[in-house]
Amino acid sequence: MHNSEILNVLQLINTDGIGPVTFYKLLQKYGSTEKALGELSKQKDIFPRRNAEKELDQAQHLGVELILYTDPRYPEKLKNLNDAPPILYALGNIKLLNYPISLAIVGARNASIAGRKMASRIAYDLTNSEVLVVSGMARGIDSAAHKGSLYAKNQQGATIAVLGTGVDKIYPEENKNLYQQIKNQGLLISEFPLGTTAQTSNFPRRNRLISGLTDGTLVVESSLHSGSLITAKFALEQGKDIFAVPGSPLENRSAGPNRLIKDGAVLTESAEDILNVLQISQNQQIKNYKMSIKPLDKVENNVNISAQENVVTFNDISASLIDSISYEGVDIDELLRHSGLTQEEFFTQILDLEFSGKIERQVGNRVARIK
């Protein structure tokens, strides 16, 4: 990929108020990142070219690949998302991005010993059955899943860690060794610029990528208000299979999986339960899945955005929505009714506000302002 296009994308996506959804709308409107930058620069300050060059130089120095949405290596499964990251930072085995079959394993950070063993065992068995495990490298269930995968295949198994920081930042610090193992055997990816530290608003964004990269999501231990259920919700919205390990109703960490099972998730006690649903046998080769995906870089014929209104109107609507959202949180359906917007317009604004760090999603179909 030519460096000038990478620099254009870095400038555009790092410009204040531009999230993935707005990025693609600008691209559809103007036809190229170069023209979009030119028009946008007449209306607002653009992320400086010298800063984009510095980012690219640093990535090359660290051995980090910058993968654009137009790059053949960009994961096909992410192209289903209307808010797919225009650029991914990747460190490790890039070929894993388009692994045929993959599963997300997520769960509580304060996981029990039994929960960690279960996550590790299932990840180990799935990896040996040619299913790639994807998780978020958090402490608890995430870490256990990664370790189980790495230990599979005679300790040569692979796994993908989707980070809520830059790929050059290790979080939590206790996972330093795990980070190095994944870098050597698997893949670390992030949509956040290098040097980005852990911030609360980053993790819901990360969670949608964990579910987006995979064919299903397994939840092992989770409270009713955890990020793991947010990942499961994203997976459900993306049309993916949901799996959950049941637990005692007396244990708070079982509340999330038990609720998911009540709502129709596949009760999971072993990797075999997952393999059966994904129609994979441990003794047969993986099917070659044919995917019908609309490329993000193609212009939609029915898109019509005026040059001036594309930014000004967006900012006005965003400001109005922000005024209607409290720090305690409001119901999304109620907010939609009072906004006067169509569903498409409304959720476009909500996504961009979320990605710009102004609001965050809460459990129970709510959003709240970030202080």
In percent, the amount of the chain with pLDDT more than 70 equals 88
Q: Does domain 94-277 have CATH number 3.40.50.720?
A: no
The pLDDT score that the predictor gives to residue 86 is 97
Q: Tell me whether the CATH fold assigned to 94-277 matches the one assigned to 309-369.
A: no
Q: Per residue in 321-364, pLDDT tens? A: 777 788 778 878 778 877 777 776 777 787 778 767 788 877 66
pTM for this model (two decimals): 0.75
Q: Per residue in 163-193, pLDDT tens? A: 999 999 999 999 999 999 999 999 999 999 9
Averaged pLDDT score across all residues of the chain: 85
Separation CA 95–CA 245 (nearest Å): 30
With a cut of 80, say whether residue 94 has pLDDT above it.
yes
Q: Does domain 309-369 have CATH number 1.10.443.10?
A: no
For residue 103, give every residue at least 6 positions away whose Cβ sits within 8 Å of its Cβ, in sequence order, or none.
126, 131, 132, 133, 134, 214, 215, 216, 217, 218, 243, 274, 278
Domain boundaries, the chain: 3-62, 94-277, 309-369
Helix H, strand E, coil C: the string for the chain is CCHHHHHHHHHHHCCCCCCHHHHHHHHHHHCCHHHHHHHHCCCCCCCCHHHHHHHHHHHHHHCCEEEECCCCCCCHHHHHCCCCCCEEEEEECHHHHHCCCEEEEEECCCCCHHHHHHHHHHHHHHHHCCCEEEECCCCCHHHHHHHHHHHHHHHCCCEEEECCCCCCCCCCHHHHHHHHHHHHHCEEEECCCCCCCCCCCHHHHHHHHHHHCCCEEEEECCCCCCHHHHHHHHHHHCCCEEEECCCCCCCHHHHHHHHHHHCCCEECCCHHHHHHHCCCCCCCCCCCCCCCCCCCCCCCCCCCCCCCHHHHHHHHHHHHHHHHCCCCCEEHHHHHHHHCCCHHHHHHHHHHHHHCCCEEEECCCEEEECC
